Amino acid sequence: MKFIDEARILVAAGDGGNGIASFRRDKYEPEGGPDGGDGGNGGSVLFVADRNVNTLIEYRYARRHRAQRGQNGGSSDCYGKRGKDLTLRVPVGTTIADINSNEVLADLDVDGKQALLAKGGRGGLGNIHFKSSVNRTPRQCTRGEEGEQRELRLELRLLADVGLLGLPNAGKSTFLRAVSAARPKVADYPFTTLQPHLGVVRVDHDQSFVIADIPGLIDGAADGAGLGIRFLKHLARTRLLLHIVDLAPCDPAADPARDARTVVNELEKYDPELATRPRWLVLNKLDLIAEGEREQRVADFLDACQASAAGSRCFRISAISGDGCRELTRALYETLQELPSASATAAPTATASAALADDPFADGEQGS
């Protein structure tokens, strides 16, 4: 299934049914009085987080979602039937924002959590409500109210404890395979991950945490180079960042310290708050460096690395052989026990909002 983590949709609640003006005309009651019933209320649009849904792909191709309209009132004091609510299921971790105001309306971060985002219109009144001692034959009735309409932006933000950062081919996916049962694609030639991956790291039989791997960043990602920074939103809920650095790059002209600063700079451009999260440096691919040269290579890197890119702790690993990975995961678990849960950001970033600039209502419609 194609991974879709953004969508823009139009939701419309059902209009209320109209009340009617009617008079009873039974056989022995030629002047029976008003008996026009009320219209039914329109159906509302609700969103619910469902752990069995993994992507927003359904909302990329069905852009309009409309709840059922309320039924009109009838004679003989018959009230119209209420319109059915429309329940839209989204992945756990989805944030919903109003496109026009950019206000975050709901953060569905728990399975089963619901949010009412478009309320159905009230049904109109029949003429039975207008009778009085001075108005025996009221002909007034009211129309049903229109249901609410909203243009919404859906963004899926993966739920993970630890997020992986780094340039393409730094070894993030290999590290994820080494410490979890996740199986992102890896190979012995340069390429980059194209979509996020989650992996559960089990430190012990009852001790575990979740790591998120996102596509690599390159210089100019904040300006749209490469895959840009659209996947950085998946790190918004993480409590700790692992900055994977390739200490033995294939390109002789590559500079690991410069590459580390590039990643930190792009992170700061995207979200200064996210850049202040605890971040550890993980020096990878030490198996490709001669044993006698490793200490000097690490020392040279740390000397050239500026304080802003250094991270609070530094680990040395080889993801392909697993050296140092167990010690790193144990340290991660122990630190996560002390860190508070990271709250979601107050509103989607402007960069993420611009990722879907096409007409949001050009495709199909869904309703009940």
Domain shared by 131 and 231, yes or no? no
Domain shared by 138 and 169, yes or no? no
* Residue 87 placed within a domain: yes
User: What is the model's pLDDT at position 348?
Assistant: 42
Domain shared by 274 and 175, yes or no? yes
What's the CATH number where 22 sits? 2.70.210.12
Domain shared by 93 and 181, yes or no? no
Two tokens, residue 136: 């025996």
Domain shared by 65 and 125, yes or no? yes
* Residue 138 placed within a domain: yes
What's the CATH number where 337 sits? 3.40.50.300
For the chain, the C-alpha Rg in angstroms (whole number) is: 29
Domain holding 290, by residue range, is 162-344
Domain shared by 131 and 214, yes or no? no
User: What is the model's pLDDT at position 347?
Assistant: 40
Domain shared by 151 and 169, yes or no? no
Q: Is the dihedral of CA 51, 57, 62, 63 positive or negative?
A: positive
* Residue 136 placed within a domain: yes
Return the bridge partners of 95, or none. Answer: 107, 155
Two tokens, residue 90: 């989204």
User: What is the model's pLDDT at position 231?
Assistant: 76
* Residue 219 placed within a domain: yes
* Boundary of a domain, candidates 98, 124, 156: 156
* Boundary of a domain, candidates 122, 156, 190: 156
Q: Which residue, chain included where needed, has tokens 């939103």? A: 233
* Residue 53 placed within a domain: yes
**126 alpha carbon, distance to own chain's centre:** 44
Domain shared by 219 and 312, yes or no? yes
Q: Which residue, chain included where needed, has tokens 């129309």? A: 143
Counted domains in the chain: 2
Domain shared by 182 and 319, yes or no? yes
Domain shared by 228 and 312, yes or no? yes
Give start and end residues of each alpha helix (H) in 132-200.
172-179
* Residue 367 placed within a domain: no
Of 45, 46, 40, 112, nearest in space to 72 by CA: 40
pTM for the full predicted model = 0.72
Domain shared by 147 and 264, yes or no? no
Residue-level pLDDT, tens digit, the chain, 368 residues: 467 888 999 999 999 999 999 998 887 777 788 999 999 999 999 999 999 988 898 998 899 999 999 999 998 889 999 999 999 999 999 999 999 999 999 999 999 999 999 999 999 999 999 999 889 889 999 999 999 999 999 999 888 899 998 888 888 889 999 999 888 878 665 666 667 888 889 988 888 999 988 877 776 655 665 555 667 778 888 899 999 999 988 888 888 888 888 888 888 888 888 888 899 999 999 998 898 898 998 888 888 886 656 667 899 999 999 999 999 999 999 999 988 865 443 344 433 333 333 443 344 445 54
Contacts of 119 (CB under 8 A, 6+ apart): 13, 44, 147, 148
Report d(CA 181, CA 281) in Å as an integer. 23
Number of C-beta neighbours around residue 52 at 10 A: 8
* Residue 247 placed within a domain: yes
Domain shared by 170 and 319, yes or no? yes
* Residue 364 placed within a domain: no
Length of the chain: 368
**2 alpha carbon, distance to own chain's centre:** 15
User: What is the model's pLDDT at position 339?
Assistant: 84
